[in-house]
Structure 1
Amino acid sequence: MELPVYKGTQTIEENELYYELYQHPERRPTLILLHGFLSSTFCYRKLLPLLTQKYTVYLIDIPPFGQSGKSSKYAYSLTNIAKTILTFIDMHKLEKVILIGHSMGGQIGLNMCKQRPDLIEKMILLAGSGYLAAPSRWLKRASYVPFFSLFVKRYLEKSGIEKNLRLVVYDQSMIDDDMRDGYTAPFLQGKAIFKALGKMARDKEDDLTENDLHTIQTNCLLLWGRYDKVVPLSIGNRLHKDLPCSQLIILDDTGHLLPEEKPEEVFRHIDNFITFEG
């Protein structure tokens, strides 16, 4: 079934939030998909066709990534990004949405659950990050130095897309030119992204504490790759312990990039979690 797609931007706090809407013709639950750090909506390309068969889906590029704005006036803290997406939900008059967050998208999703639990029906963390401290004072001070954005650019160029992709997937034979091009594209748009990453280093705060997590009563599904080298399974176990209404499922032969590596299996677990009423 080919669904109508709307692609556009919403201006919030003097920054543009890029999104895509896949509206299911029937009254179905609404999913909001959030990607990870240095990524974009591209990471859901294999999972999206499965989800849109049964659900209405909003794909969002988290500022400053993908096609969202890279304003120097915007606060790129997790708390403020969460607030921005909550504002988007209110502007679109959505209620009881289901969040799916990969990696950093999970951090933002948990922030959203803490700020506005009334809007979030359920939360799915796909190797969601957690327990990270804010960047060091040295890095925050360094980010004010002229040409800091050039250092960020050179660091990312040195690490290289091939090295990063090999880090995030278990079966490295799946890496092809489509993946390389898709994950490189957001960083070929000019200097603005690197300047925004410098500001993100200044704005980033500590993650939610254990006490914060204990207060989140949202039903959470945690899906984790057994061989995740970026956000290891130990983080998933710890989140499962600290989130009172959570369940953890571990995927074998899987690394960090679950939506790319095991889209069918991920969809099956998500669908079961959403439709289960208990």
Structure 2
Amino acid sequence: MALDEKHIYSPGYRINVNNVQIYYEYFDHEDPDAKVVVLVHGFLSSTVSFRKLLPYLTKSYKVVSLDLPGFGQSEKSTSFIYKLSNYGQLIIDFLDKLNIQNAILIGHSMGGQISMHAAKKSPKRIEKLILLGCCSYVKRASRSLIACSYLPLFTWGMRNWIQRKDVKENLLSVLHDSKLVTDEMIESYKKPISELAFTDSLIRLLRHREGDMCSQDLNQIQQPVLMLWGKEDKVMPVKTGYRLKHDLPNAELIIYEKCGHLLMEEKPQEICSEIKRFIEQGITQGTAFQQETS
């Protein structure tokens, strides 16, 4: 029987990191030597995307989940440079603030790319990486689109697009099992993107976001990496996972049948089992296999 995520609760905290107010949740563990796992969400998301993982992860580890600048309950900063590499550095500085010396990062989608930046910047600090449907090989926005973002009406148009965006339709596009989409789930994912200042952060991300790591950069990430992928992922097709596995020197890829981009919602118990195995036992070199789950 699946655990009830409502039994896991954190009041949430705020901390200033590099002059940006960061919202985070911390779940301690009775074992003072328990490993620290840090959860990094993806694009248009927040800490809420890990809600179903928490009941399983917190049984074995100390868990920290944060909202990235511009997302969720963190500051919609107008001074932060919204580059993936800067997000990666912010993760390291965030760990400094919390006096966390060693951590394992779990990154979903864009959060996976950010986690790889953090691992590359601080290889001794980040022990292992767990990437869920990791955003990879996405190029920078075109110069013409970036130029358009400075036009007076662009902000108005972007805000209209966000307000018209059907959260239910978006969730259906990232999940294989449509029955998982409930009113409660829709509201949970809709709330963080409803704030007016979110639009400004999204535009800054459009302007600042560099392209994803190239093969040469990925080759430099030496930490063990576990990649978990949904076979029906329409956002980051599974072929991206195979390419990423080829470029990462020490990576393992597991593919789940009947699963889309939002693995944490569809397969929380299954992926937590693999996460625990990976953290405690390491990885099998060069492995890639498909695992069918019901």
TM above 0.5? yes
Please, what is the CA RMSD of the aligned residues? 1.5
**Distance in 1, Cα, partners of 2:265 & 2:145:** 32
Aligned residue number for residue 260 of structure 1: 265
Match of 2:38 in 1: 32
| Cross-structure match for 2:223 | 218
Against the structure 1 CA distance between its residues 230 and 177, is the aligned structure 2 distance closer, same or farther, given a 3 Å change threshold?
same
Cα deviation code 1:21-58 (max 9, x no counterpart): 10102120000001110001101111111100110000
Greater CA deviation, 197-206 or 9-18? 9-18
Q: What is the CA-CA distance between 1:173 and the residue it aligns to?
A: 1.3
Measure, in 2, the Cα distance between the counterparts of 1:30 and 1:116: 16
Map 1:1-278 onto structure 2 (within 5 A): 5=10, 7-26=12-31, 27-189=33-195, 191-277=196-282
Aligned partners of 2:282 and 2:201: how far apart in 1?
42
Residues 3 and 23, structure 1, Cα contact 8 Å, conserved in 2: no
Q: Offset of 1:4 from its aligned partner?
A: 7.7
Deviations along 1:217-240, one digit per CA (max 9) or x if unpaired, are 010000000000001101111111
Native 8 Å contact 1:229 1:255 kept in 2? yes
C-alpha contact (below 8 Å) 1:4/1:23 kept by paired residues? no
Residue 108 of structure 1 aligns to a residue in which SS? helix
| Pairwise CA distance, 1:121 | 0.4
| Percent sequence identity over aligned pairs | 39
Counterpart position of 2:288: none
Q: How many residues align?
A: 277
Deviating more after overlay: 91-100 vs 242-251: 91-100
Q: TM-score, normalised by structure 2?
A: 0.91
Task: Report SS of the residue matched to 2:12.
Answer: strand
Is residue 163–residue 194 contact of structure 2 (8 Å, CA) maintained in 1? no
Could you say what secondary structure the match of 1:32 adopts?
strand
* Distance verdict in 2 for CA 1:14–1:148, change over 3 Å: farther
Check whether the contact 1:126–1:223 (CA below 8 A) recurs between aligned residues: yes
Tell me by how many angstroms 1:96 deviates. 2.0
User: Contact between 2:17 and 2:97, CA under 8 Å: does it hold in 1?
Assistant: no
- Deviation per CA, 1:1-38, whole angstroms, max 9, x where unpaired? 97784521121232111111101021200000011100
Whichever residue aligns with residue 47 of structure 2, its letter is T
Shift of 1:140: 1.1
For 1:20 and 1:212, locate their aligned partners in 2 and report how far apart those are by CA, in whole Å: 31
Q: Report the secondary structure of 1:274's partner residue.
A: helix
**Which whole-Å CA distance do the structure 1 matches of 2:155 and 2:8 have between them?**
40
Q: Distance in 2 between matches of 1:260 and 1:33?
A: 14
Alignment TM-score, normalising by the size of structure 1: 0.96
CA distance in 1, matches of 2:78, 2:148: 16
Could you tell me which runs of 5 or more consecutive residues in structure 2 were left unpaired when the two chains were aligned. Answer: 284-294
